[in-house]
């Protein structure tokens, strides 16, 4: 039998086999390609290949993998209906803990909490990794909240707190529980939580809310017993200051006064928020030694706009709160400002967000804005140094463009001249091109040969001063290149971004004629600044920076108004801010413009003999 006949018989045999299809082990199949792209993070390219694999071989033994990966991708993209459809296509024998977890999460997010909760309750924690366990607990909390099963929601919050080490997550969990205790739990559920979670932050918050309700019901003695139990416990929780406020109210007949404090105490900006809070706490401590005590009700914004607005609404609902300080970051500040304007409560923010005071008459800002820096620097350059013409060399970033424009506008408004302006990529290390363009020269022309024996004077610079709003790291690269490429004998001007501990060691030798602005100078000869620095060091063991000084000043401003305004109410606090002039702040004598922005005299700093000195 020849080879042709054998091959024909083999084809007939294969054609007679059952029509069960499977994927070849070839890595070129759509399934294999799609899975590889998914593992590499190329999700958009993986999706059509996985769909093709399903369309070509819907009954194949491995096709469930395509459905699972598509479900993951769709869930990650927020396409929850598509994710549920893919999960539903997975055969029962291939449904594992991950598929049930994804389905439960998607059901709860699509407004089907009952089946989602049932599905997640059937999962064992031992079948899930750490991240999956957190997702399950969070979803069970959300699901029970939607079903108004508050004791069950609190149980899963408690479980999450026991396993979490992330400060931001812990803060969010405690805020969730606080909302339940304050607005949703019945008296019986509140009492049950106080018993079940005693000795924990949840138990402390439940006790505090019981005390508030007893006060509202006209039972001050029972309220005082409960709040004293909270204050006498060593357990810390975010609302301990609220307990101090209630205790004061119960003791002095309701005359207590409070200020809301809204700062990012968790999340990416938490370090900054805690620095500001240190300065505020020092101001409060000094105030309460000499005047009627005030309580700070501190809330964690976590840099989140929605949470910030919620905190403002909650604080505004307390009649003892006369104003709010914060937030610190842009989007959170904007959201908080709109809510404060709506609730008609004074908000003194530290954010540099553009046009923030323009939200309304209840919004004020005490921050080191680009316009404030430009105004002080240009005033000094024109009036005290008689400089008339300027160049600008700035990073091509949002802040770099913003402060450069503010500087240019201020120069033009005061009759000066901007001769040249150049931006550079923040990663640039060679500034030859920008320096030549500042001089009006062709940067593509080769450098002429330098002859050390040649006489003649150096070419005069095209402007009197050069404004460089960047950090010491970049200054250390820019400053020595200026004379190297022919730009000498000019005054360098800088923004507050110069003011870091790295300035002198990294760039000090190149900045002997330079001047820059800052919001705080811890070595200032002013006695009140020295007093602040000494007090801060005594309490915290470190020297304060601009952030701590800003916190100290905004707290001091609001506390001083509580003493000055008679009667102390929200309207009078707002009027007091509008009328304030020359408050003796450590970040400069401070007042507020009719628009609500701070108007202050910033520090002018220079370098003399390798040391920073205050010039004004």
Is 27's pLDDT higher than 80? no
Whether the pLDDT of residue 444 is over 60: the answer is yes
Max CA separation in the chain (angstroms): 115
Q: What is the mean pLDDT of residues 375-394?
A: 95
Helices (H) and strands (E) in the chain, counts: 25, 15
Can you tell me the mean pLDDT for 466-488? 93
pLDDT in tens, 500-533: 888 999 888 888 889 999 999 999 999 999 999 9
Alpha-helical segments (H) within 254-385: 270-290, 305-316, 330-343, 370-379
pLDDT above 90 coverage of the chain, percent: 76
Q: State the helix-helix crossing angle for 546-564 and 270-290, rounded to 10 degrees.
A: 40
pLDDT digits (tens, 9 = 90+) for 191-208: 999 999 999 999 999 999
Predicted confidence at residue 254, as pLDDT, reads 57
By C-alpha distance, which of 190, 158, 175, 213 is closest to 310?
Answer: 175
pLDDT score for 453: 45
- The pLDDT value given to residue 255: 63
Res. 9: pLDDT tops 80: no
**Structure tokens, 419:** 């001769």
Whether the pLDDT of residue 252 is over 80: the answer is: no
Residue range 78-83: mean pLDDT, rounded = 94
The whole-number pLDDT of residue 250 equals 87
Report the pLDDT averaged over residues 150-168.
93
Task: Record the tokens describing residue 589, joined without a space.
Answer: 């004598």
Task: Indicate the pairing of strand 583-585 with strand 491-494.
Answer: unpaired
Q: Is the pLDDT of residue 399 over 50?
A: yes
For residues 63-89, average pLDDT: 93
pLDDT digit string, tens, across residues 215-247: 999 999 999 999 999 999 999 999 999 999 999
- Which string of DSSP letters, residue by residue, matches 130-142? HHHHHHHHHHHHH
- The sign one gets for the Cα dihedral 585, 589, 591, 593 is negative
CB-based contacts of 451: which residues, under 8 Å, 6+ apart?
A: none
Q: Is the pLDDT of residue 13 over 90?
A: no
Averaged pLDDT, 148-166: 94
What pLDDT score was predicted for residue 335? Answer: 96
Choose between 451 and 99: higher pLDDT.
Answer: 99
Tell me how far apart the alpha carbons of residues 389 and 475 are, in angstroms, rounded to a whole number. 21
Q: Which residues contact 66 (CB under 8 A, 6 or more apart)?
A: 31, 34, 35, 50, 51, 53, 54
User: For residue 204, with 0-12 CB atoms within 10 Å meaning exposed, 13-18 middle and 19 or more buried, which class applies?
Assistant: buried
pLDDT at 449: 64
Q: What is the pLDDT of residues 301-360, one digit of tens each?
A: 988 999 999 999 999 999 999 999 999 988 999 999 999 999 999 999 999 887 899 999
pLDDT band for position 11 (cuts 50, 70, 90): very low
Rounded Cα distance, 431 and 429, in Å: 6
Assess contact for 607 and 475: CB atoms under 8 A. Answer: no
C-alpha distances in angstroms, 579 versus 326, 572, 573, 599? 20, 10, 10, 12
User: Rounded to whole angstroms, how far apart are CA atoms 387 and 514?
Assistant: 13
Residue 111: closest CA among 134, 133, 80, 136: 80
Mean per-residue pLDDT, 293-305: 92
Question: What is the model's pLDDT at position 457?
Answer: 58
Angstrom distance (rounded) from CA 209 to CA 149 = 19
Mean pLDDT, the chain, whole residue set: 89
Q: What is the pLDDT of residue 472?
A: 93
Q: How far apart are CA 231 and CA 208, in angstroms?
A: 9
Specify the pLDDT at position 14.
Answer: 28
Mean pLDDT of 492-498: 95
């Amino acid at each position: 039998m020849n080879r042709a006949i054998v091959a024909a018989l083999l084809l007939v045999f294969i054609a007679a086999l059952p029509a069960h299809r499977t994927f070849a082990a070839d890595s070129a199949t759509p399934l294999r390609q799609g899975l590889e792209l998914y593992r590499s993070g190329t999700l958009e390219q993986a999706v059509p290949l996985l769909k093709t694999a399903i369309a070509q071989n819907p009954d194949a033994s491995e096709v469930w993998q395509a459905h699972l990966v598509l479900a993951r991708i769709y869930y990650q993209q927020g396409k929850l209906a598509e994710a549920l459809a893919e999960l539903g296509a997975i055969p029962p024998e291939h449904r594992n803990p991950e598929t049930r977890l994804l389905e439960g999460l998607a059901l709860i997010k699509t407004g089907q909490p009952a089946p989602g909760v049932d599905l997640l309750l059937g999962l064992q924690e031992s079948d899930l990794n750490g991240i999956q366990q957190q997702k399950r607990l969070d979803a069970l909390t959300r699901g029970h909240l939607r079903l108004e099963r508050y004791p069950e929601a609190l149980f899963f919050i408690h479980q999450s707190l026991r396993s979490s080490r992330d400060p931001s997550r812990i803060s969010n969990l405690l805020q969730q529980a606080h909302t339940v205790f304050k607005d949703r739990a019945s008296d019986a559920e509140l009492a049950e939580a106080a018993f079940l979670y005693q000795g924990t932050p949840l138990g402390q918050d439940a006790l505090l809310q019981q005390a508030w309700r007893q006060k509202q019901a006209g039972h001050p003695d029972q309220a005082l017993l409960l709040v004293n139990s909270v204050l006498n416990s060593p357990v810390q929780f975010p609302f301990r200051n609220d307990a101090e406020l209630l205790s004061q109210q119960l003791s002095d007949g309701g005359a207590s006064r409070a200020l809301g404090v809204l700062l990012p105490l968790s999340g990416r900006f938490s370090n900054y928020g805690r620095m500001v809070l240190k300065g505020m706490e020092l101001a409060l401590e000094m105030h309460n030694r000499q005047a009627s005590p005030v309580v700070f009700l501190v809330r964690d914004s976590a840099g989140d706009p929605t949470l910030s607005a919620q905190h403002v609404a909650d604080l505004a609902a307390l009649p003892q709160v006369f104003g709010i300080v914060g937030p610190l970051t842009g989007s959170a500040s904007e959201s908080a400002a709109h809510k404060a304007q709506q609730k008609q409560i004074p908000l003194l923010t530290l954010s540099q967000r553009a046009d923030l005071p323009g939200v309304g008459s209840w919004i004020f800002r005490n921050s080191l804005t680009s316009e404030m820096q430009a105004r002080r620097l240009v005033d000094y350059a024109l009036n005290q140094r008689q400089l008339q013409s300027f160049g600008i060399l700035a990073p091509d970033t949002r802040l770099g463009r913003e402060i450069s424009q503010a500087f240019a506008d201020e120069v033009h408004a005061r009759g000066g001249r901007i001769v040249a302006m150049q931006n550079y990529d923040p990663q640039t290390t060679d500034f030859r091109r920008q320096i030549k363009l500042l001089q009006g020269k062709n940067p593509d022309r080769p450098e002429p040969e330098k002859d050390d024996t040649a006489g003649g004077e150096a070419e005069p610079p095209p402007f009197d001063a050069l404004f460089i709003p960047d950090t010491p790291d970049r200054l250390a690269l820019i400053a020595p290149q200026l004379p190297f490429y022919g730009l000498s004998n000019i005054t360098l001007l800088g923004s507050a971004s110069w003011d870091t501990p790295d300035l002198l060691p990294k760039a000090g030798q190149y900045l002997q004629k330079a001047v820059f602005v800052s919001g705080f100078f811890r070595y200032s000869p002013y006695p009140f600044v020295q007093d602040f620095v000494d007090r801060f060091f005594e309490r915290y063991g470190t020297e304060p920076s601009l952030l701590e000084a800003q916190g100290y000043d905004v707290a001091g401003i609001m506390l001083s108004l509580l003493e000055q305004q008679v009667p102390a109410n929200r309207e009078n606090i707002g009027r007091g801010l509008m009328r304030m002039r020359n408050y003796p702040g450590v970040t400069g004598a401070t007042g507020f413009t009719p628009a609500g922005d701070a108007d202050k005299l910033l520090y002018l700093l220079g370098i003399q003999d390798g040391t920073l000195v205050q010039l004004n």
